[in-house]
Amino acid sequence: MALSLAWGIDDSVEVNGNEYELNLEFSRVLRWYELWKDKDMSNFEKVATSILLVVNHVETIDDIPPDDIIPLSNAIIKRIAGDTVASTTVKRDLRGNILEDEEKKWYDIEEDSGYIYSSFLMDYGMDLIQEREKGMLHWDKFNHLLSGLSDDTKFRNVLKIRMMDYPEKATQQEIEEIRKAKRAVALKSDRAAIEFEMMDLKQKREYMEKKKGSELNGE
What are the angstrom distances between the C-alpha of 206 and each of 82, 156, 211?
A: 45, 36, 9
pLDDT digits (tens, 9 = 90+) for 62-102: 999 999 999 999 999 999 987 533 333 445 554 555 555 44
Q: What single-letter DSSP state applies at residue 28?
A: H
128-149 burial by CB neighbour count: b if 16+ within 10 A, else e? beebeeeeebbbbebbebbeeb
Report which residue type is found at 169.
K
The predicted-structure confidence for 13-27, as pLDDT tens digits, reads as follows 999 999 999 999 999
Nearest-angstrom CA–CA distance, 114 and 107? 12
Separation between Cα atoms, residue 81 and residue 97, nearest integer Å = 9
Tens-digit pLDDT profile for residues 99-158: 554 456 788 888 999 999 999 999 999 999 999 999 999 999 998 999 999 999 999 999
